[in-house]
Amino acid sequence: MKKKLRSIISASILSLIPLSSSALELQEQLTPELIKTLGIDPNKITLIDFFASWCVSCRIELPQISALIPQLDNNQFEVIGINVDEELSEGQEYIDSFAQKGGLNFRVVMDPEQQMIEIFEPLGMPALYYIQNGKIEIMHLGAMPNIDDVIVSDISKLGYQQ
Amino acid sequence: MIRIAIMSSVLSLTACGHYQYLEQDSQSSQANNRYSQSNVVFTSDNSKIKKTDKKDTTIKAKEALKSTSLTQTTPELKTTALVKTNPIETNNKESFWTQLVEVFTPEKVKPWQKSKLAKATMKPGGLTPGSEKFNQKIYASKESSRGGLGVAGGGCGCN
């Protein structure tokens, strides 16, 4: 009887534990659902940038990335920003704050439920993922100085033709 | 009485010596038989050899050597017959208490969940800049050193 009770209690407790999914690593393929949701073009090199309003490094990097995009070919390279602020209004305010500096020249996906970032599970923010043919080719986690130069060198490695 | 005592001691010594001899003999026969192919059965059970007589063991060893094929020159040790391997019991199941501890252990804050932690209200000094300065002054006077109090990267978990 005691054993049965124990097994019932342990089973009920185990059911409460959420199943943890493993983080996406280099050379891993994105799921078709994720590609569809984010609208990733398989013919382009796509840069996914996770950012948030409270991230100081993101505030430095975002204008640099935004200024770089007009200089690059849109048919070969695309940037998708994912805002992970828990409050939608907070995220929107943050994006609008860049208007004085020319705004953000790339598509931004709002992720207040943090569903997208929980799939990628980056170890730090800002998190940059280069996707080519649905596969993660390069990733940068954490603050990086001169991110625009870093992006240019990265995409040239992935076959971007200038 | 003294005579009896001496006699008994002598007898016990001889008995011990004889037993030792038997044991040595059985070990040597065991060693011989180990290298024979078909007679591993003799040596697998040590207790049987110890109990048997010296003559019996030598006869058995000779018989065993006869029964082995002469063509086989390189002896092989059948370790499977000599050594009894006990299966290692592995219990990968987590105990009830381990599961319970896991449930009550607070979940780690992930890098993208630090929005609240990055706010100024979460600082030890709170929103009041005076209290923070006051705390830092006390800390510096106690430690005789300053600095190293801030967190790099604005709480985004990147550094």
Which tens digit of pLDDT belongs to each residue from A66-122? 999 999 999 999 999 999 999 999 999 999 999 888 889 999 999 999 999 999 999
Query: Strand pairing partners for A108?
Result: A81
CB atoms within 10 A of CB A20: 9
According to DSSP, residue A29 is labeled B
Q: What is the pLDDT of residue A22?
A: 75
For the segment B21-36, what is each residue's pLDDT rounded down to a tens digit? 444 444 444 444 444 3
A114/B103 CB distance under 8 A: no
Residue B151 has what pLDDT?
52
ipTM summary value: 0.75
How would residue B10 be classed by pLDDT, with cut points 50, 70 and 90? low
CA distance A65 to A69: 7
% residues pLDDT > 90 (chain A): 73
**Is the pLDDT confidence value at B16 over 70?**
no
On the question of pLDDT at B47 being above 70, the answer is no
Q: Which of A47, A65, A49 is nearest to A131 (CA)?
A: A47
Summary mean pLDDT of chain A: 86
Using an 8 Å Cβ cutoff, are B118 and B154 in contact? yes
Which range scores top for mean pLDDT: A12-21, A139-148, B146-155? A139-148
Q: Among A33-37, A95-99, A153-157, B34-38, which is the least confidently predicted range?
A: B34-38
CA distance A48 to A24: 13
Cα distances from B43 to residues B21, B47, B49, B64, B67, in angstroms, run: 18, 9, 8, 11, 15
Place of tokens 């493993």: A22
Cβ contacts (< 8 Å) between A53 and chain B: which residues?
Answer: 115
Write the residue in A9, A114, A124 that is nearest to B156 by C-beta: A124
Confidence grade of residue A14 (pLDDT, cut at 50, 70, 90): very low
Highest mean pLDDT among A3-12, B18-27, B121-130: B121-130
**Rounded Cα–Cα distance for residues B159 and B156 (Å):** 8
Q: Which residues in chain A have Cβ-Cβ distances shorter than 8 Å to B104?
A: none
CB contact (8 A) between residue A10 and residue B96: yes
In this prediction, residue A101 carries a pLDDT of 81
Q: What is the average per-residue pLDDT within B8-14?
A: 53
Length of chain B equals: 159
- CA B34, CA B39: separation in Å to the nearest integer? 7
Least confident of A58-72, B100-114, B121-135: B121-135
pTM, entire model: 0.58
Give CA B93 to chain center in angstroms. Answer: 19
Q: Spell out a b/e string for A88-125, using b for 16 or more CB atoms within 10 Å of the CB, else e.
A: eeebeebbeeeeeeeebebebeebeebebbbbbbbebb
Residue of B nearest to A6 (CA): B96
Indicate the average pLDDT of chain B: 61
pLDDT above 90 for A13? no
The residue type at B151:
V
What residues of chain B lie within 8 A of the CB of A117, using their CB? 112
- Cβ atoms A80, A120 nearer than 8 A: no
pLDDT at B19: 46
Report CB contact under 8 Å: A57, B157: no
**How far is A62 from B113, CA to CA, in rounded Å?**
20
The amino acid present at B69, given as its one-letter code, is S
SS3 of A49-87: the string is EEECCCCHHHHHHHHHHHHHHHHCCCCCEEEEEEECCCC
Percentage, residues of chain B above pLDDT 70? 33
d(CA A56, CA A143): 9
Q: Determine the number of helices (DSSP H) and then strands (DSSP E) in chain B.
A: 7, 0
pLDDT of residue A41: 92
pLDDT of residue A47: 96
Instruction: Please report the pLDDT score of residue B30 as a whole number.
Output: 47
